[in-house]
């Protein structure tokens, strides 16, 4: 397995471009299953989760033509199977996003249950409940969700907690259902809206995406379309925090400042100066950050996917900051690793109290999940000496060319490639 070796202590300065959003690309790729015509996408990020999704779509029978510039054509005119096997689903929970499209277009789907994952149990009961409300007959057989239906029927579906992929799955299923579906307490994440915009370009009738009530008038078929995937707000936020921690000055291009209000506000509270244009953000920081208090919640509140990075910033900040996680029950696994670097963090329930220290010291640490890994990179950028981060395959799931981008900003990040099994 690859490792990253990072020499800390360098101030970040310069400009980079942000990639397409992983969490928008994943459902949008699955939307290709909704039509027998070609879906053309631009700004697809080069990430492990994207290649896993393409493997799954290819397994189902989708023809895929990908170029080096991040453009892709997907054609799902004749599928070979309606089954998403455990081997593919277990590596990436978002594989559940093929369930809605397969069921609504073909009347049947067999998708492996995703099972547990490092950051909590993450059930899919709301996806299943919503599809049942639309008339699907769903059974769980030997670890698989087996769903069958004639044409799905529009329904009013209230989701008792906010789920991003749940909203996306049901929205895709509803596009080809008979009649009107209303999704209440829907996720308002910008990625849900991006998916809706792609579906609308394919001929779907969707109103209210980006609000908590989404109304979908089912149509009899969707057609091909060309669509460009939105910029990744979590990648953007991660680089902004890195610049704040290293007291640097960076400009991020090809991004969407309008999707980052909660993150930008907290960075300003920490002392950063931030200016935005339509599609770029400049951050400069001329002091040690001030500790901030954050509490994660569904969009537009502070994103859980930025929690670990802000925890890293609090570790070296002036003062004491508390970090409360309300979305996932086990999302503090980075704490132990940060403590190995000298951080002062105390956990009580779902809150971590972080007392800023004057310095962190490089050490060997282990990446445990995607955003936790990113937070360790940030901590390593300010730690004295070298930090080695093991198991960085988690980072490659969600950050395109992370070492190239950081090095372009003046960091010293080296990938150590390991070949051979089990290493
Ligand atoms: C998505 C994002 C992930 C982000 C998360 C929360 C993608 C591919 N991933 O994950 O990066 O961290 O949103 O913003 O977009 N829940 C249920 N029942 C369900 C579904 C969810 O109880 O059927 C619970 C989960 O356990 C969790 C909460 O709802 O506590 C939010 O989960 P959800 O929004 O579904 O996360 P994902 O869509 O998997």
For residue 370, the ligand 1 atom closest to its alpha carbon is: 11
For residue 164, the CA-to-ligand 1 centroid distance in Å is 5
Please answer whether residues 48 and 55 qualify as being in contact, where contact means their C-beta atoms are separated by less than 8 angstroms: no
Please answer whether residues 43 and 226 qualify as being in contact, where contact means their C-beta atoms are separated by less than 8 angstroms: no
For residue 121, the ligand 1 atom closest to its alpha carbon is: 26
Question: What's the CA gap between 109 and 138, in Å, rounded?
Answer: 10
Which mutation among 21, 165, 168, 369 tests ligand 1's pocket best, with the greatest number of atoms within 8 A of CB? 165
For residue 124, the ligand 1 atom closest to its alpha carbon is: 23
Ligand 1: which residue has its CA nearest to atom 39? Answer: 165
Which of 30, 117, 315, 401 does the annotation list as catalytic?
A: 117
pLDDT at 123: 87
For residue 327, the ligand 1 atom closest to its alpha carbon is: 30
For residue 129, the ligand 1 atom closest to its alpha carbon is: 23
Residue 178 in this model has a pLDDT that exceeds 60: yes
Question: What's the CA gap between 307 and 17, in Å, rounded?
Answer: 22
Burial (0-12, 13-18, 19+ Cβ within 10 Å), 121:
exposed
Ligand 1: which residue has its CA nearest to atom 31? Answer: 163
pLDDT at 418: 76
Ligand 1: which residue has its CA nearest to atom 7? Answer: 23
Mean pLDDT over all residues of the chain?
A: 95
For residue 85, the CA-to-ligand 1 centroid distance in Å is 21
Residue 295 in this model has a pLDDT that exceeds 50: yes
Ligand 1: which residue has its CA nearest to atom 21? Answer: 163
pLDDT at 121: 56
For residue 286, the CA-to-ligand 1 centroid distance in Å is 36
Question: What's the CA gap between 233 and 221, in Å, rounded?
Answer: 32
pLDDT at 120: 54
Question: What's the CA gap between 44 and 182, in Å, rounded?
Answer: 30
Question: What's the CA gap between 361 and 344, in Å, rounded?
Answer: 12
pLDDT greater at residue 194 or residue 89: 194
Is 65 annotated in the active site? no
For residue 122, the CA-to-ligand 1 centroid distance in Å is 7
HEC secondary structure over the chain: CCEEEEECCCCCEEEEECCECHHHHHHHHHHHHHCCCEEEEECCCCCHHHHHHHHHHHHHCCEEEECCCCCEEEECCCCCCCEECHHHHCCCHHHHHHHHHHHHHHCEEEEECCCCECCECCCCHHHHHHHHHCCCEEEEECCEEEEECCCCECCEEECCCCCHHHHHHHHHHHHCCECEEEEECCCCCHHHHHHHHHHHHCCCEEECECECEEEEECCCCCCCEEEECCECHHHHHHHHHHHHHCCCEEEEECCCHHHCHHHHHHHHHCCCEEEECCCCEEEECCCCCECCCEEECCCCCECHHHHHHHHHHHHCCECEEEEECCCCCCCCHHHHHHHHCCCEEEEECCEEEEECCCCCECCEEECCCHHHHHHHHHHHHHCECEEEEECCHHHHHHCCCHHHHHHHCCCEEEEECCCCCCC
Residue 28 in this model has a pLDDT that exceeds 50: yes
For residue 63, the CA-to-ligand 1 centroid distance in Å is 29
pLDDT at 369: 87
For residue 166, the CA-to-ligand 1 centroid distance in Å is 8
Residue 398 in this model has a pLDDT that exceeds 70: yes
For residue 10, the CA-to-ligand 1 centroid distance in Å is 35
Using CB distances shorter than 6 Å, the residues near ligand 1 are 23, 26, 93-94, 120, 122-127, 161, 163-166, 191, 304-305, 327-328
pLDDT at 422: 38
Ligand 1: which residue has its CA nearest to atom 29? Answer: 163
pLDDT at 89: 87
Cis before 89 (ω within 30) = no
Where residue 393 falls among pLDDT bands split at 50, 70, 90? confident
Q: Which of 112-116, 205-209, 338-342 has the lowest mean pLDDT?
A: 112-116
The pLDDT tens digits of the residues spanning 317-336 come to: 999 999 999 999 888 999 99
Phi and psi at 71, nearest 5°, equal -105, 150
pLDDT at 419: 65
Ligand 1: which residue has its CA nearest to atom 13? Answer: 164
Please answer whether residues 247 and 283 qualify as being in contact, where contact means their C-beta atoms are separated by less than 8 angstroms: no
pLDDT at 119: 52
Share of the chain above pLDDT 70, in %: 97
For residue 191, the ligand 1 atom closest to its alpha carbon is: 15
pLDDT at 423: 33
Residue 232 falls in which region: left (phi positive, over 0), alpha (psi -120 to 50) or beta: beta
The pLDDT tens digits of the residues spanning 227-281 come to: 999 999 999 999 999 999 999 999 999 999 999 999 999 999 999 999 999 999 9
Tell me, yes or no, if the pTM score tops 0.75: yes
Ligand 1: which residue has its CA nearest to atom 4? Answer: 305
Residues 277-300, mean pLDDT to the nearest whole number:
98
């Amino acid at each position: 397995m690859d490792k990253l070796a990072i020499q800390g202590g360098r101030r970040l300065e310069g400009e980079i471009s942000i990639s397409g959003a992983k969490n928008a690309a994943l459902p949008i790729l699955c939307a290709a299953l909704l039509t027998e015509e070609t879906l053309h996408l631009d700004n697809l990020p080069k990430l492990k989760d994207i290649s896993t999704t393409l493997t799954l779509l290819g397994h189902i029978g989708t023809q895929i033509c990908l170029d080096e510039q991040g453009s892709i054509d997907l054609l799902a005119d004749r599928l070979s199977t309606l089954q998403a096997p455990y081997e593919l689903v277990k590596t990436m929970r978002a594989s559940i996003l093929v369930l809605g499209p397969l069921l609504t277009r073909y009347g049947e789907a067999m998708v492996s249950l995703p099972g547990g994952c490092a950051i909590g149990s993450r059930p899919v009961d709301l996806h299943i409940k919503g599809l049942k409300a639309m008339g699907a007959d769903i059974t769980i057989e030997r670890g698989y969700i087996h769903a069958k239906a004639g044409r799905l029927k529009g329904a009013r579906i209230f989701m008792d907690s906010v789920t991003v992929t749940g909203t996306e799955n049901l929205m895709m299923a509803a596009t080809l259902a008979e009649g009107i579906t209303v999704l209440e307490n829907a996720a308002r994440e910008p990625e849900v809206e991006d998916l809706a915009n792609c579906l609308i370009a394919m001929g779907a009738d969707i109103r209210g995406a980006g609000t908590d009530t989404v109304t979908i008038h089912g149509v009899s078929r969707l057609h091909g379309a060309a669509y460009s995937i939105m910029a990744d707000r979590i990648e953007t936020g991660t680089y902004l925090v890195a610049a704040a921690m290293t007291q640097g000055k960076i400009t991020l291009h090809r991004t969407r400042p309008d999707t980052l209000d909660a993150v930008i506000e907290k960075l300003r509270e920490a002392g950063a100066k931030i200016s935005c244009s339509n599609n770029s953000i400049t951050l400069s920081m001329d002091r040690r950050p001030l500790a901030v208090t954050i509490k994660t919640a569904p969009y537009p509140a502070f994103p859980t996917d930025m929690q670990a990075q802000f925890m890293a910033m609090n570790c070296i900040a002036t003062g004491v900051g508390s970090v409360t996680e309300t979305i996932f029950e086990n999302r503090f696994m980075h704490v132990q690793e940060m403590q190995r670097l000298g951080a002062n963090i105390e956990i009580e329930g779902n809150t971590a109290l972080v007392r800023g220290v004057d310095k962190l010291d490089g050490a060997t640490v282990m990446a445990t999940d995607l955003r936790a890994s990113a937070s360790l990179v940030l901590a390593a950028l300010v730690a004295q000496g070298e930090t080695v981060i093991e198991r960085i395959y988690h980072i490659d799931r969600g950050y395109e060319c992370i070492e190239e981008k950081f090095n372009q900003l003046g960091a010293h990040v080296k990938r150590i490639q390991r070949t051979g099994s089990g290493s």
